[in-house]
Amino acid sequence: MTLIKSISGIRGTIGGKVGDNLTPIDAVKFASAYGVWLKQQRNKDNYRVVVGRDARISGEMIQNLVMNTLVGMGIHVIDLGLSTTPTVEVAVPMEHADGGIILTASHNPKQWNALKLLNAKGEFLNGEEGAKILEIAESGDMSFAEVDDLGEITKNEAYIDIHIDEVLKMPLVNKKAVEAAQFRVVVDGVNSTGGIAIPLLLERLGVHAIKLFCEPNGQFPHNPEPLKEHLYDLAAEVVKEKADLGIVVDPDVDRLAFMDENGEIFGEEYTLVACADYVLSKTPGNTVSNMSSTRALRDVTEKHGGTYEASAVGEVNVVELMKKNNAIIGGEGNGGIIYPELHYGRDALVGVALFLSLLAEKKMKTSELRATYPNYFMGKKKIELTPGMDVDGILSKMEERYQNENLTTIDGVKIDFSNSWVHLRKSNTEPIIRIYTEAPSQEEADALGNKIIAEIKTIANI
């Protein structure tokens, strides 16, 4: 069991020993450290934090611990209850709050949970800010409010509806065309809050939604990462219902993948490619994704006369480069759409609205739309880390081995070959080394991944 402290928040498995897992004591410690950090940002009388959670079994317990810790620090809490990560991000500035906390472990299995921490803009903290909170947590230098100065909890469960209102207000969302298309869509909500938010959005867009695993009880019916190998039920339901497409999200609804009318995966890498194609066709500009994302975004961006750049992996890194380069859309190849028109955060609701607008305007089948994009194939593999494994040493040796190739080392090691690439990096969210490859065929991508894994195992003697 594991506790991971990183740029992506405080993430761990429920139960076990303090300091080794995400126990109640750890939840209180890190919530307290966040409260101290928050007060250091502004000297004021009243502090407010927005808190929401996905539908994980442990969510209510962790949320109550976190909220009441903040109350004990004299911080007022706006409790969104069952929510989504992008909904909390939208709510923070709308509530003029000082920050936000989302209780979710994103795509991790049900035994995991996490505290994702936001600033006053509703954006994830950067590495320096995260390091400061960890420093406060380890120092134990925290003080709490006296009895007359305790914070209060205010419930506001309207924010998913408010979030949908804001999505539908975006100028590029063509609600009229989507309604006219009379789409039939199967939604896999992985029994979390996507099962609430996505059908409500589709209903507002005039789409007929067929619900699959949309009961927000935290009992994930399959591995919650929205990858092809986990989506057999969705594929079968799309074909059975003669639907125009399938939609699947992860538990906190910041990742999005589509399936075509034949039950074939559109490709989570191509979620961003399609949405960017639509946005760039209306408002030309620059794009950003991370180093582990497909080259197809670069191709589409250049087709529209824009410039593409790649950041280190991690949403905060993508956002930082998007701001620097004035990118009008960006995100991550894992199905994360970041569209600053609404906010600087991955948002599946935004992605659904843009994608359906594109599909409706093109008057194509989903499979036909996919065929219009450059065809790259990606392999995503991993190696489990064992105690004492020298990850930095392994990556250094791989860098040395491929020193004559085009290397990028801002985030692990990325090796660019003439018609393929491989990216090796230590995960921010799991105790693994991720090995992403891309090539002109699936066989070549998989073969490259297997070759790299064999080399790593030789270097690490495993």
Q: Which residues are catalytic?
A: 106
Which amino acid, residue 193? T
Residue 43's CB is within 10 A of a number of other CB atoms, namely 6
Considering only CA atoms, which of 401, 409, 404, 408 is closest in space to residue 459? Answer: 401
**SS3 letters for the chain?**
CCEEEECCEEEEEECCCECCEECHHHHHHHHHHHHHHHHHHCCCCCEEEEEEECCCCCHHHHHHHHHHHHHHCCEEEEEEEECCHHHHHHHHHHCCCCEEEEECCCCCCCCEEEEEEECCCCCECCHHHHHHHHHHHHHCCCCCCCHHHCCCEEECCCHHHHHHHHHHHCCCCCHHHHHHHCCEEEEECCCCCHHHHHHHHHHHCCCEEEEECCCCCCCCCCCCCCCHHHCHHHHHHHHHCCCCEEEEECCCCCCEEEECCCCCECCHHHHHHHHHHHHHHHCCCEEEEECCCCCHHHHHHHHCCCCEEEECCCHHHHHHHHHHCCEEEEEECCCEEECCCCCCCECHHHHHHHHHHHHHHHCCCHHHHHCCCCCCEEEEEEEECCCCCCHHHHHHHHHHHCCCCEEECCCCEEEECCCCEEEEEECCCCCEEEEEEEECCHHHHHHHHHHHHHHHHHHHCC
CA distance 432 to 423: 13
CA distance 407 to 199: 44
Decide: 238 and 263 in contact? Cβ < 8 Å.
Answer: yes
Q: What is the dihedral of CA 258, 263, 267, 272, to 10 degrees?
A: -20
Residue 64's CB is within 10 A of a number of other CB atoms, namely 17
